[in-house]
Amino acid sequence: MESWLIILFVIIPLFTAFLIPLGGKLLPWFGRTAVSGIMLFLVALAVHIILRMPGTVVYMAGGWEPVEGIPVAIYLVLDGLSLFLLLIINLLGFLSAFYAISYMRRYTGEKYFYTLMCLMIAGMNGVVLAGDLFNLYVFLEISVISSYALVAFGVEKTELEASYKYQVLGGLASLLVLFGIIMIYWQTKTLNIADISMIMQGSGQDPFNIFIQLILIAGFGIKAALIPFHAWLPDAHSSAPSPISAMLSGVLIKAVGVYVIIRLLFNMFPPDNSVAVVFTTIGALSMIIGVILAIGQWDLKRLLAYHSISQMGYVVTGIGMGMILLARGGENPAAALAIGGGLFHMINHAVFKGLLFLNAGAIEYAAGTRDMTKMGGLARYMPVTLSSSFSASMAISGIPPFNGFFSKLIIIIAAVQGGFYLLAVLAVIAGIITLASFMKFQRYAFYNKPEPDSPAREVPVVMRASMISLAVLCLLLSLLVFPGIRQVLLDPAVNVLVESTEYARLVLNL
Amino acid sequence: MTLFIMCFLLFLTGIYGVLTRRNLIKVVISLTIMEFSLFLMLAMIGYISGGEAPILAGTIIPAAPVVDPLPQAMVLTAIVIALATNAMLLTIAIRLYKKYGTFDIREINELKG
């Protein structure tokens, strides 16, 4: 495959972000059509690359070949895991942008919204593709700075306050990440992930390495809103416009949080048992505390935001269990199963949480409120929102045949096989509480006594189309448990993590 | 080594400020102090005593040890990023001041739970 194809994922959104303020001056519809158009193209490109199954593709920017085996260029690396993330980012980005065509009509400054959205997507694609820590940091900042602005897009009291809180904590996280990167440079005198991996494998595990890993877990843990670091997420995700809430909850916390930390812990540092135990503990805490905090919420979007913490806990627990098993060494089929379950839950969470936030946006658009006690009887007016939010609620609570059931089942089976009985029990309990809180959402929003003179009507066709496509995806992704489909999408991603030392060899082409 | 310890003290000063200050602007200043302690540290790690600029012209091999330009490039990039984050934070702080009429974070508490 031509390796230059992968840089299109970064430059197309970046260039469109530059064009939108210019084009928007002449043509008012330019922003919305351009973003939907390029996102559709990028989804097609991602699917095209997945179908060709390229293995590991390396693009060296500027064509700077390695000098005496030392990489000097800016590396963009596409492998199974980054391809998996690219598909999630661009798919959800496309559907949110399409939904925003109708939703964002109510806001002023529409073209700035699309500019920031493009920048956010360019940043996330860059984070996922970056092969060195320098560019990873730069792209990470591009995506989070545009998300700070997007959270404050409504410029009301709550939006500004949420954005300020998010920025202070996000700034702290960026500084911790930068601190970790400086420590790594001090230790190894290079910033290329593959090169660092080669050096670290030679030197083995020492306390300084573990210190760096803990700093990085703290930094990216704030970005991913895992439990001790979660304070900003419910405010930020509930204050943003709904398509952006869907992007933040569905994609951003995965791409700049969980993806980066698992990439670094698996492919860069040699596997270490104590770090893996810390990582899994954080995941398990998020899983159970997130859902307990969620059930008492009456603001619909805050409820969904707390569930994001809990569902990311599932992902981290699954992947962390695999990491513990890998660090213990030896052939272990449960490790691949646990990592597979975690990654599978990651794509599932992107789809159903994105859909739920779009539903919340539709309800807010129609009924004009996010308070569940003030809704009620919406089933009569909004059949599409009802059915799509029903399928998403079933998916997140883990009811068959929806996708969430299979990924949670795989994580629980892997926990039992690997001997983590406590985690299996916690996962089941968190699943039950999730079901309870989504029954509350369905009951209060759709079936309670209708509010008198409710202004609710079904939302415009564009918003409906996005919600229906995501609801169909909730069902279709269940097919990923079948071996034929798994081999195309999920297995390459799992292999990258299981064969953790292969990454450096493939990238440096040794 | 003394310099690294002083850098770390600067970093801790910044964290102390972020945790204890009640004024929106002072929080931003504390974050900036943390940022600059890290920039100083990165620049010091990249410093090589008696090193030459890494300009390789043709086949001439420099006599003295050559400095790795990577930390300097990274510091410059990080400064630009810090500029963007600070501008963004101050913009939001000013908008908050217009809405609430105060910079005190104890009085800006619409979001709870």
Residues 6+ apart with CB under 8 A from B92: A148, A152, A160, A163, A164, A167
Q: pLDDT tens digits, residue range A475-507?
A: 998 888 888 888 888 888 998 888 888 888 888
Chain A residues 235-294 within an 8 A CB cutoff of chain B: 235, 239
Please say if the pLDDT value at position A419 is more than 90.
no
Residue A488, number of CB atoms within 10 A of its CB: 12
Cβ B92–A164 below 8 Å, yes or no? yes
pLDDT bucket at A181, cuts 50 / 70 / 90: very high
Q: Report residue A398: phi and psi, to 5°.
A: 80, 50
Which class is domain B2-48+65-100? Answer: mainly alpha
Are A380 and A450 contacting, i.e. CB atoms less than 8 angstroms apart? yes
* Per-residue model confidence (pLDDT) at position A481: 86
pLDDT bucket at A36, cuts 50 / 70 / 90: very high
Please say if the pLDDT value at position A68 is more than 60.
yes
Are A291 and A121 contacting, i.e. CB atoms less than 8 angstroms apart? no
Q: Percentage of residues in chain A with pLDDT exceeding 90?
A: 56
Cβ A164–B74 below 8 Å, yes or no? no
The token pair at A421 is 């009985």
Are A117 and A8 contacting, i.e. CB atoms less than 8 angstroms apart? no
Q: pLDDT tens digits, residue range B76-102?
A: 999 999 999 999 999 999 999 999 888
Are A491 and A337 contacting, i.e. CB atoms less than 8 angstroms apart? no
Q: Report residue B65: phi and psi, to 5°.
A: -65, 145
* Per-residue model confidence (pLDDT) at position A330: 66
- Taking CB atoms and an 8 Å cutoff, what residues of chain A touch B111? 158, 161-162, 165, 235, 239
Are A43 and A94 contacting, i.e. CB atoms less than 8 angstroms apart? yes
Q: pLDDT tens digits, residue range A315-353?
A: 999 999 999 999 887 667 888 899 999 999 999 999 999
Average pLDDT over residues A366-391: 85
Partner B contacted by A449 (CB < 8 A):
no
How many angstroms away from the CA of A167 is the closest CA of chain B?
7
Q: Percentage of residues in chain B with pLDDT exceeding 90?
A: 51
**Mean pLDDT across chain A, nearest whole number?**
89
d(CA A181, CA A186): 9
Q: pLDDT tens digits, residue range B64-77?
A: 788 888 899 999 99
The C-alpha angle with vertex A316 and arms to A313 and A317, in degrees rounded to 5, equals 80
d(CA B63, CA B65): 7
Of A163, A186, A302, the CB nearest to B92: A163
* Per-residue model confidence (pLDDT) at position B113: 56
Range in A171-175, A306-310, B108-112 with the lowest mean pLDDT: B108-112
d(CA A427, CA A430): 5
Q: Which residue does chain B place closest to A299, by CA atoms?
A: B113
Number of helices followed by number of strands (H, E) in chain A: 20, 2
Are A410 and A319 contacting, i.e. CB atoms less than 8 angstroms apart? no
Residue A52, number of CB atoms within 10 A of its CB: 10
- Taking CB atoms and an 8 Å cutoff, what residues of chain B touch A297? 113
Direct distance between the N- and C-terminal alpha carbons of chain B, in angstroms, rounded to an integer: 45
The token pair at A208 is 């300084």
How many CA atoms lie within 13 Å of A413's alpha carbon, on the beta-carbon side? Answer: 13
Ramachandran bin of A27, using left for φ above 0, alpha for ψ from -120 to 50, beta for the remaining angles: beta
**Among A383, A382, A402, which Cα is nearest to A391's?**
A402
Interface A-B, measured as beta-carbon pairs within 8 A, has a size of 92
* Per-residue model confidence (pLDDT) at position A242: 92
d(CA A17, CA A40): 16
Number of helices followed by number of strands (H, E) in chain B: 3, 0
pLDDT bucket at A393, cuts 50 / 70 / 90: very high
Cβ A152–B92 below 8 Å, yes or no? yes
Burial class (CB in 10 A: 0-12, 13-18, 19+), A451: middle
Cβ B89–A168 below 8 Å, yes or no? yes
Are A365 and A339 contacting, i.e. CB atoms less than 8 angstroms apart? no
Average pLDDT over residues A78-103: 92
Please say if the pLDDT value at position A17 is more than 90.
yes
- The pTM of this model reads 0.94
Residues 6+ apart with CB under 8 A from B39: B75, B78, B79, B82
Cβ B24–A164 below 8 Å, yes or no? yes
Q: pLDDT tens digits, residue range B7-66?
A: 989 999 999 999 999 999 999 999 999 999 999 999 998 888 887 777 777 666 777 788
Per-residue b/e over A392-423, b at no fewer than 16 CB within 10 Å? Answer: bbbbbbbeeebbbbbbbbbbbebbebbebeeb
d(CA A287, CA A408): 12
Partner B contacted by A371 (CB < 8 A):
no
Burial class (CB in 10 A: 0-12, 13-18, 19+), A258: buried
Q: pLDDT tens digits, residue range A247-304?
A: 999 999 999 999 999 999 999 888 888 999 999 999 999 999 999 999 888 899 999 9
